Structure 1
Amino acid sequence: MISIIRVAQGKNSTLSHLYIGGLFACYLLEDSIREEKIPGATCIPEGEYRLRLNPWAGMNARYSVRYPKVHRGMVEITGIPDFSLVFIHIGNYHTDTRGCPLTGAYWRLVDGDYQVLHSAAAYKFVYPQLVEAIERGNDRVVVGGR
């Protein structure tokens, strides 16, 4: 099972944990939780969604160059009402998310907002695990609170 558990709220950010197979895999940084979506500034709503590899979206070209030995497509979270092209990817600040979860090896709180750091290292750690899970048919992610 793959799950995203929200653990803390900043002014414009949400700190989450990513679990794969019941084990903590990395921190995630998301936008704020909002009742009404603000494009590019709202995290995905709680629910159960599907994961897939997306080899055609714009980010794919950059990640193919950056991670040529392992990249097989962006890990996309699909089936989210009113959201599209939501990828698990690298970044450090809530301004990098645009609705996507960002990977991090650790976190810090600066001026009331969470940041994740060593994002690329966390991504390199979780990406192969997510690809393997998707290929085995474990392509569901549950997003929720504590």
Structure 2
Amino acid sequence: MEQIKIIRVAQGKNSTLSHLYIGSLFCCYLLEDSIRMEKIQGLTCIPEGEYRLRLNTWAGMNAKYTPKYPRLHRGMIEITGIPNYSLVFIHIGNYHTQTVGCPLTGSYWQRLDGDYQVLHSAAAYKYVYPLLVEEIERGNDRVVVEKGTQLASPPEL
């Protein structure tokens, strides 16, 4: 099975930019909150490690995505098994203030005022969502989160 990976590539003042891969295929950019040694609720990206992916059909966010994407949506893609985290979904958004600890999808990125943001989030979501659902249904439900070899430091203030 092809490994699903989130590779962290850059840090902003309050944001972390990552790449999402399925095997060797780059699928999209991801935006998360800052990397922190101690978790601050809603302001900290998920820690490095290996976790499980599943389709969550019962959380409140699911009710927002079902009518928005009726032909695509089969449940929120949830990252589970993260110590001290719950309801971590891969979803749409552009700014670190919209993550609340979840990875946001993006087609490309930019840096503004020392922080990263992802753009064309819905397009990236519509591309990567069926790929991840297919992997989950095949039993490939593990995701590895790791630091890239050249993780850029936060910009100077």
1:57 aligned partner: 59
Aligned partner of 2:9 in structure 1 is 7
What is the CA distance between 1:20 and its match in structure 2? 1.0
Q: For 1:72, which of 64, 74, 83 is the aligned residue? A: 74
Aligned length: 146
- Unmatched 5+ residue regions in structure 1? none
TM-score normalised by the chain length of structure 2? 0.92
The percentage of aligned residue pairs carrying the same residue is: 80
Runs of 4+ in 1 over 2 A off after TM superposition: none
CA distance in 2 between counterparts of 1:110 and 1:70 reads: 32
Letter of the 1:82 counterpart: N
Identify the residue that residue 102 of structure 1 maps to in structure 2. 104
Aligned to 2:154: none
2:26 is aligned with what amino acid? Answer: F
Consecutive unaligned residues of structure 2, counting only runs of 5 or more, are: 149-157
SS of aligned partner of 1:63: helix
Q: How does 1:1-146 map to 2 (within 5 A)?
A: 1-146=3-148
Q: Which amino acid aligns with 2:19?
A: H
How many Å separate the matches in 2 of 1:11 and 1:57? Answer: 30
**Would the aligned equivalents of 1:2 and 1:22 in 2 still touch at CA under 8 Å?**
no
Task: Tell me how far apart the structure 1 counterparts of residues 63 and 85 of structure 2 sit (CA, whole Å).
Answer: 21
1:53 partner letter: L
